[in-house]
Amino acid sequence: MGGEIMGETGVEDAKEAYQRAKAEYGQIKSEHNSVVSQRKDALNEAKRSQKKAIASLNRQIASLENDLHGKVASVGGVSLYHDRLEAGGSTYKLEHGLRVTVNTSGGRYSTTEVSGGGASIGGAVLGAAIAGVPGAVIGGRKKVKSKEIIHDDRRLYVTIESPQGGQSVNLNPDLEQQARSLAAQVPGCINQYQGLVQDIPPKIEALKAKLEEAEKDDAVLAAQGELDAALNDTERLEAARQARDEARQRYRDEKKQTKAPLFGSRAHDDHDGAGEAEEPLDDVTVSKAERAHSESPAEAVPGQRGKGLSRILWKVLGLAVIALGVFFLLGMLGGILDGYGIAFVLVCLGLGCGLVYLGIRLMRRGKAKS
C-alpha cells in the first residue's frame, strides 16, 4: 500500500514538472517568434525606404539628363536637341559656328480650264420641237464647263552650316513655319548648352554617388544583421525544449512504473489535459495487453479450435468449387473435340474460369480467417 502511494506521488510530481516545463517552453517560443517578427518588419521597412530613395534619385538623374540631352523640336528629318542637331543621318554639335537657315522657292497658283460651248444639233432639234425657233437657238448651244487646277511648285530647304560640315535638307513646303521656328531656336540652345554642360554633369555625378550609397544602405544591412541574429539566437529556446522533453520522458517513466489497478482501470487520469496525445494511447495499449494476458486458457482454447475448424471448412469449400470449375473446363475441351457449337464452348469456358477463380478466393478467405 505504501509503495502505491509513493508511486502516485512520483507520477503527480513528474506530471507537474512536465506541465511547468511545457508552459515555459511555450512562453520562450512565443517570445522568440515575436522578436523574429519584429526584426522582419524592421527589415521590410528599411527595404521600402531604400527602394523609395533609389526611385527618387533615378527620377532626378533622368530629369537632368533630359535637360542636357533631351529633344527641343523636330521638323521632318531635322531634330534639335539640347546638345546636338540631327539631320539626314548626321549629327552636329551645338557650338558657335553652327547656323541653320530656311530657304524657299517656287510658288502656288491656280488656272481655270474651260470646256464645252459650240453647237449641238440634237439640242437644236429638241428645242425647236418644244419652243420653235427660240427653242432651237437656245437648245443648239452646248453647256460650258470650267475646272480650277492648282499648281504647286514650292520648295522648302533647311540649310545647315557647321565647322563639322553642312547639308541641305528638302522638307514638305507646308512645314515652313515649323522649320523657321526650329531654326530660330538654334542660337538660344547653343548659348544655353554652354551653361548646361558646365552645370548639369557635376549634379548628375553627385546624384549617382548618392544612388550608390542608397543601394548599399547601412540601415538595410543592419536590419538584416539583427534578423539573422534573432534567428540564430536559439540557445535559450533549445534549452527549454530539451527541459520539456526530459520532463515528459520522466513523466512517462513514472507512469510505466506505477502498477495498474484491478479491472484494467487507469492509475492516473489526465483530465487536466497535461499529457500529450500519445500518452493515453500508451495506457490503452497496456490495458489491452493486460487483458490479453488475463484471459484464462480455458477461454482461449475453444476460440482457437473454432478458428481451425472454420479454416478447414473454407479450404474444403474452395477445393470443391475449383474441382467444379475444372470439370467445366474439361467439358469445354470435350465440346471442341466433338464439334459442339461455339455457344457451348464459351459457356463452359466462362463457368470454368469463374468457378476456379471463386474457389481460389474462398481458400484465401480461409487463410485470412485463421
Tell me, what's the pLDDT at 138?
56
Q: How far apart are CA 120 and CA 140, in angstroms?
A: 5
> Residues near 276 by Cβ (< 8 Å), separated by ≥ 6?
248
155-166 pLDDT per residue, tens = 999 999 999 889
Tell me, what's the pLDDT at 306?
66
Query: What pTM does this model have?
Result: 0.47
* Pairing, β 90-93 against β 99-105: unpaired
CA–CA–CA angle 109, 112, 116 (5° rounding): 170
Grouping H, G, I as helix, E, B as strand and the rest as coil, residue 168 is strand
Q: Is 252 exposed, middle or buried (0-12, 13-18, 19+ CB in 10 A)?
A: middle
> What average pLDDT score do residues 119-139 get?
58
| pLDDT confidence tier of residue 16, bands split at 50, 70 and 90 | very high
Given a contact cutoff of 8 angstroms between Cβ atoms, the answer to whether 11 and 268 are in contact is: yes
| pLDDT confidence tier of residue 122, bands split at 50, 70 and 90 | low
Residue 247 in grid coordinates: 520532463
Given a contact cutoff of 8 angstroms between Cβ atoms, the answer to whether 84 and 93 are in contact is: yes
Q: Considering the chain, what percentage of its residues have pLDDT values greater than 90? A: 44
CATH number for the domain running over 1-81+190-259+278-294: 1.10.287
235-252 pLDDT per residue, tens = 999 999 999 999 999 999
| pLDDT confidence tier of residue 344, bands split at 50, 70 and 90 | confident
| pLDDT at 293 > cutoff 90 | no
Buried residues in 54-87 as b, exposed as e (16+ CB within 10 A): eeebeebbeebeebbeeebbebbebbbbbbbbeb
**Of 46-50, 117-121, 226-230, 326-330, minimum mean pLDDT range:** 117-121
| pLDDT confidence tier of residue 309, bands split at 50, 70 and 90 | confident
Check residue 119 and report its DSSP letter: B
Higher pLDDT, 133 or 2: 133
Grouping H, G, I as helix, E, B as strand and the rest as coil, residue 93 is strand
| pLDDT confidence tier of residue 262, bands split at 50, 70 and 90 | very low
DSSP letter for each residue of 169-189: EEE-GGGHHHHHHHHHHHHHH
| pLDDT at 279 > cutoff 60 | no
Give alpha helix (H) positions in the chain: 2-69, 121-139, 176-215, 218-232, 235-257, 278-294, 297-338, 342-369
Tell me, what's the pLDDT at 369?
57
| pLDDT confidence tier of residue 118, bands split at 50, 70 and 90 | low
